[in-house]
Structure 1
Amino acid sequence: MPYPTNADLPAGVRNHLPPHAQDIFRAAFNHAWADHASDPRQEEAARRIAWAAVKRLYVRDGAYWVPR
């Protein structure tokens, strides 16, 4: 289930990531979703890839994420 806008992201992503990181998560998730269409674990793979993309530019500081 790709996310058309940041408002459609899961609450945990929306509430803790800054807008730019949400953009990164959404773009990576949507791309990975399409790339893994034949994978039975499509959503899990897309979610892991999206978080990995966020972690390249952001680091967790308590409950929130801040730029590296």
Structure 2
Amino acid sequence: MPYDKKSDLPEQVQDNLPSHAEEIFKEAYNNAYEQYKDPDDRDGDDSREEVAFKVAWSAVKQKYEKNENGDWVKK
């Protein structure tokens, strides 16, 4: 299901990402959730939610990376 606000995001996202990265995640997830609603648009047997999560994390990784301490920081 799409997320209305950052506080609706899963704990694994809220507990690890900076605020801006959470916003990127939320927007990418919501867009992918809508874009891949038709199973024929998805590769393999991934659910709509699984595809949206993959897209969202990929979007975050374009702007953020983990540092040597395991914290997400802007590239």
| TM-score for the superposition, normalised by structure 2 | 0.85
Aligned to 1:45: 51
User: In percent, how many aligned pairs have the same letter?
Assistant: 40
Correspondent of 2:72 among 54, 59, 65: 65
- 1:1-68 counterparts in 2 under 5 A? 1-39=1-39, 41-61=47-67, 62-68=69-75
Q: Gaps spanning 5+ residues in structure 1: where? A: none
User: Is the partner of 1:16 in helix, strand or coil?
Assistant: coil
- For structure 2, the 5+ residue unaligned runs are 40-45
Q: Which 4+ residue blocks in structure 1 deviate beyond 6 angstroms?
A: none
Q: For the aligned residues, what is the CA RMSD?
A: 1.1
Q: What's the TM-score, normalizing by structure 1?
A: 0.94
Larger helix share, 1 or 2: 1
Cα offset, 1:60, TM superposition: 1.1
